[in-house]
Structure formats: C-alpha cells, structure tokens
C-alpha cells in the first residue's frame, strides 16, 4: 500500500498560488524604486500610483503575476474539494497521488506561462494547460462519484 500524499498537495498548491502575488509585489517594488504601500496594497489609489510610476513592461509583468495569483486562488476550492472527495470516497493512494501530482505539475506550468507569456498567440498554450488541470480535477470527482455509487450498490 502506498503512502497517500494527496493532502500534502494542498499546502504545496497554496505556495504555488501565493508565489505569483509575492512576485508581483516585488516587480512593482523594482519598478517604483521600493515605494510599496503596504498599508493599503489593494487600494485603487495604490494601484493607480503603480500604473503611473512603474515602467510599462514591468507593470505588465506584475499585472500578469497578480492575475495568475487570483486565478490560482479561484481554483483552490475546486482543488481542495477534489482532494476531499477522492479521499472520502476511498480512492486508492496511487490514483490520488497521480492526480494530485498531475494537477500540481500543470498548475506550476500554468503559473510560469501566465507570468512569462507576453503575446496573444502563445497564451492559448496557457489556456490548454488550464483546461488540462481542470480535466484532472473533473477526473478526480468522477472517480470519487463512481466509487461512492459502487459502495452504495448503485
């Protein structure tokens, strides 16, 4: 019987989700000579200051990193739900480890692409990566549902 690492994937995912925000703030800081407003970092006036004072390419990179962070946070409940569903249904450790690992790997690639890709055409590769990551979670939910139905004799 293999060790089930799937619950460990949740804090790993959290790091993946938060890192782009840190990267965005450090990019803004670089672009505005260290004048970050930590008292109101999400305020409209702060963001407007960053937009005006941060050079265009740095601002665009920071903006992509922040959007990546938001997308990762939006997908966190779906990922956590899939991990819980799979484990509560009793999916075997190998399946859970494989699916959780695939999701983590895809989200790492997705995050890297989100921050680095600057033009429209290659951004579609990022979208394919996103779709693949969602497919992994859907697979986990379907497998969990099938296992639960089987356990109930349905």
Q: Give the percent of the chain with pLDDT over 70.
A: 99
Q: Does residue 4 lie within any of the structural domains?
A: no
pLDDT digits (tens, 9 = 90+) for 65-110: 999 999 999 999 999 999 999 999 999 999 999 999 999 999 999 9
Q: What is the mean pLDDT of the chain?
A: 94
| Structure tokens that stand for 49 in this block | 């200051």
Q: Is there a domain that residue 128 lies in?
A: yes
pLDDT of residue 85: 98
Task: Give a yes or no: residue 153 inside a domain.
Answer: no
The whole domain housing 40 covers 10-148
Distances (CA, A) of 48 to 53, 54, 71: 9, 10, 22
Residue 1: predicted pLDDT = 67
Question: What is Dmax (Cα atoms) for the chain?
Answer: 65
Over 90: is that where the pLDDT of 121 sits? yes
Judge whether 96 lies within some domain.
yes
Query: Is 22 part of any domain?
Result: yes
Q: What angle do CA 29, 31, 34 make, to 5 degrees?
A: 35
CATH number at residue 78: 1.20.120
Q: Check whether 154 has a pLDDT greater than 90.
A: no
pLDDT at residue 29, as a whole number? 87
Rounded Cα distance, 73 and 1, in Å: 33
Q: How many domains does the chain have?
A: 1
Q: Is residue 104 part of a domain?
A: yes
């Amino acid at each position: 019987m293999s060790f089930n690492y799937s619950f460990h994937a949740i804090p790993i995912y959290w790091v993946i989700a938060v890192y782009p925000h840190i990267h965005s703030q450090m990019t803004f800081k670089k672009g505005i000579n260290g004048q970050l407003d930590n008292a109101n970092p999400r305020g409209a006036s702060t963001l407007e200051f960053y937009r005006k004072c941060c050079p265009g390419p740095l601002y665009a990179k920071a903006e992509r990193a922040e959007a990546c962070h938001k997308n990762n946070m939006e997908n966190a409940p779906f990922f956590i739900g899939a991990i819980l569903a799979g484990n509560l249904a009793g999916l075997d450790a190998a399946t859970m480890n494989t699916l959780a690992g695939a999701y983590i790997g895809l989200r790492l690639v997705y995050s890297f692409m989100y921050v680095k890709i600057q033009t429209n055409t290659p951004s579609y590769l990022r979208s394919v990566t996103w779709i693949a990551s969602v497919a992994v979670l859907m697979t986990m939910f379907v497998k969990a549902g099938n296992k639960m139905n089987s356990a109930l004799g349905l």
